[in-house]
Amino acid sequence: MSVKELFDLSGRTALVTGGSRGLGLAMAGALGEMGANVIITARKPDELDAALVSLRSRGVEARRVVGDLSRPEQVTALADAALEAAASPIDILVNNAGATWGAPAEEHPLEGWTKVIDLNLTGTFLLTQQIGVRSMIPQRYGRIVNIASVAGLKASQHMRAIAYYTSKGGLVNFTRALAAEWGRHGIAVNAICPGFIPSKMTKGVLDKISALVVASTPMRQLGDPRDLEGLVVLLAGAAAHHITGQAIAVDGGASVV
């Protein structure tokens, strides 16, 4: 197999959660550009429709499925719809959908904790289980990429988001545990841990501390959604043949200082 073939995703089908904007949309575009059949899912139909237009401008024809992963009762129907849209097994699952909630630990409401954990951990687990059982395990092949965060690797005295930090730390170890269990099925499971990247979710925080973040990052810059594109392509294809259980930071070096 040539090096180019290691990154060729032609004939593979990818499902990207939270694929209507930001990191999810960027990664969906990258997978599509490398030949994958792409399905994106999110809660809002209008945002998904806008995402399809954006992907089409990159030469990627994708399909969309509406669903709310934070509601366990909707996950099976979402998986049903995704598999129907794919009309084939799903080979690549990018678990990108996520939520956050800002509050000091001593004041953090149960509502916020539940919202974050239900989506970032429980929804991710349930959908991964569905796609694993119904697509990847039977065909003895799969690539699962969990979008965690540097918040899953280290804490920060400047952030007040204990549910988010907990969920992302859990997602990193979910990645390791699943890699250990499902490796025998030919399934590679890895996590990408982005640092601060401007997005709708991070805007409120970055408006307050962007200068501090840049100053404490060795590369002296914030990230960009497209910074994840090359890595997700690597982890989604044949290039990840012997890579599993890893949590890879994309943060300009912030997690090493």
- The answer to whether residues 113 and 101 touch, using CB atoms and an 8 Å cutoff, is yes
**DSSP3 helix / strand / coil % (the chain, rounded to 5):** 55, 15, 30
Provide the residue range defining the domain that includes 139: 3-250
Alpha helix (H) residue ranges in 42-161: 45-57, 72-86, 110-117, 124-131, 137-139
Residue in 144, 165, 136, 94 with CA at minimum distance from that of residue 246: 144
**Alpha-carbon distance 37 to 238, whole Å?**
16
Q: Three-class SS of residue 12? A: coil
In a domain, 256, yes or no: no
For the four alpha carbons of 6, 140, 244 and 174, in that order, the dihedral sign comes to positive
Residue in 157, 45, 174 with CA at minimum distance from that of residue 117: 174
Mean of the pLDDT values across residues 219-232? 91
pLDDT tens digits for range 89-137 = 999 999 999 999 999 999 999 999 999 999 999 999 999 999 999 999 9
Catalytic residues: 165
pLDDT of residue 1: 87
Model's pTM, two decimal places?
0.95
The amino acid at 73:
E
**Alpha-carbon distance 42 to 156, whole Å?**
29
> H helices then E strands: how many in the chain?
10, 7
pLDDT of residue 194: 95
The band of 38, judged by pLDDT with boundaries at 50, 70 and 90, is very high
The band of 198, judged by pLDDT with boundaries at 50, 70 and 90, is confident
In a domain, 51, yes or no: yes
In the chain, what is the greatest distance between 2 CA atoms, to the nearest angstrom? 55
Question: First vs last Cα of the chain: how many Å apart?
Answer: 38
Rounded CA Rg of the chain: 17
pLDDT of residue 197: 83
pLDDT tens digits for range 48-58 = 999 999 999 99
Mean of the pLDDT values across residues 229-240? 97
Please give the tally of structural domains in the chain: 1
Look at residue 227 and tell me whether its pLDDT is greater than 90.
yes
Residue in 31, 27, 72, 25 with CA at minimum distance from that of residue 44: 25
CATH number at residue 89: 3.40.50.720
The CA distances from residue 7 to 25, 186, 216, 234, 236, in Å, are 19, 17, 33, 6, 8
The amino acid at 143:
R
The band of 254, judged by pLDDT with boundaries at 50, 70 and 90, is confident
The amino acid at 98:
G
pLDDT of residue 243: 98
In a domain, 255, yes or no: no
In a domain, 159, yes or no: yes
The band of 206, judged by pLDDT with boundaries at 50, 70 and 90, is low
CB-based contacts of 138, cutoff 8 Å, min separation 6: 89
Alpha helix (H) residue ranges in 104-221: 110-117, 124-131, 137-139, 162-182, 203-215
Two tokens, residue 216: 């404490």
Q: Across the chain, what does the average pLDDT equal?
A: 94
Mean of the pLDDT values across residues 218-235? 92
